[in-house]
Structures are given as C-alpha cells and as structure tokens.
Amino acid sequence: MFAADGFQKTSLRSIAKQAGVSPALMIHHFGTKDKLIDLAIVNTLGDWVAKEKLAMLDDQENQLSSWQSIMEQGATPLNFFRQVLIAGGKYAGRLFDVAVLESEALLKTVAENGHLKKVSDHHVTAILMTLSGMGSLILMEHIERHLGGSIASREVAHKLMVANNEMLQDGIFVLPEQTKEEKVGS
C-alpha cells in the first residue's frame, strides 16, 4: 500500500483493513506508522539486496536472467523505495543509511568470493553504489524512455547489465599514463 499510494495516503487503519486484522493489532505489533515504515524499509531492502547478491555471484551466463528476474519481480519494492525517496526526510535518510550498510555487506561478500577488485575505501564505494541505485529509482521513467522500454525487458536489462559491468568490472576511463603506454605499445 505504501508503494502504491505513498505514505501520506496510507494509514495504519487502511493497512489493517487490507490485512484483515484490527487496527489495535497493528498498533500492538508495530506501535506507529513510522515504526512500520522503518521495518518495511529494512526488510524490503534486505530482501532486495539478497537477490542482487545472488545474481552478482552467479556465473556470467546466468547474470542477465537473474537480473531480469529481479526487475520483473521488483515492481512493488522499487515503487516502495521510490515512495520513500519522494517522501524525503527521515524516511529517505533511513533508506539511504540502510542501503549503504547493505552495499558495504555486499562488497564484503563479493570480495570474499574473489569478485571484487581492490577499492581504496569500501564505505565511499558503498555510498556511490547507493547513490547510483537510488538515483535510478527517481529517474526510472526517463531511463526507460531513453532505453526504449521497461528495465525488466530482456533487451533493456541486457543493455544496462553490459554498461554496468563495463563500468564496474573494467572501468571506462583511460588514465593519462595508460594512454601514453598504449600509444607506445601500439
């Protein structure tokens, strides 16, 4: 309901009605709407990152299918994260903080599995990963417009995965020293 209607329009009473429980039971278990939102942020992001981690650790042949599956199943979580960011304030701050922690844990796991190049600062890298992911949520409709379709489509998912892998695995910039070395070597 938060994903579909946003935080302002979603009350504990309406959630209780949708769940088929009493509002008193909602209050007993969650206390306030803020606590429910906080729990939803942590759980939804945790589930999302766990799926991403499995996809990243999958062999390269299956990564596209795994990523596409995450996107196809991810409409509700992505819309929820988008609503969190639109709401701003403490909700967006909580999502950002949890996302940075999850990204740091993801980097650690990927490193332990031998799939991470040496990075100078895992925390800053996790912040940039979080920024990239969250920025794409806010701008999703524009990304899809530029790429000609849904991010869940095989063609667009492939484009995004290839570009992401080029940037994250190989890097896309040539440093001035490399340019000189390449010219000498040619």
CA 168 to chain centre: 15
- Nearest-angstrom CA–CA distance, 93 and 98: 9
The owner of tokens 């080029």 is 166
Best CA proximity match to 102, nearest among 74, 67, 76, 134? 134
**Least trusted range by pLDDT, from 31-45, 95-109, 145-159:** 145-159
CB-side neighbour CA atoms (13 Å) of 38: 11
Please tell me the predicted confidence (pLDDT) of residue 179: 57
- pLDDT > 80? residue 82: yes
Could you give all domains of the chain from N- to C-terminal order, each with its CATH number? 33-171 (1.10.357.10)
Mean pLDDT of 79-100: 90
Best CA proximity match to 95, nearest among 53, 54, 49? 49
CA 105 to chain centre: 13
Please tell me the predicted confidence (pLDDT) of residue 181: 55
Highest mean pLDDT among 51-65, 81-95, 147-161, 169-183: 81-95
Q: Which helix (H) or strand (E) holds 159?
A: helix 154-165
- Residue 183 makes CB contacts below 8 A (sequence gap 6+) with none
- Nearest-angstrom CA–CA distance, 66 and 142: 23
pLDDT category of residue 171 using cuts at 50, 70 and 90: confident
Please tell me the predicted confidence (pLDDT) of residue 110: 82
pLDDT category of residue 150 using cuts at 50, 70 and 90: confident
pTM of the model: 0.74
Contact indicator for 45, 81 with CB cutoff of 8 Å:
yes
In percent, the amount of the chain with pLDDT more than 70 equals 94
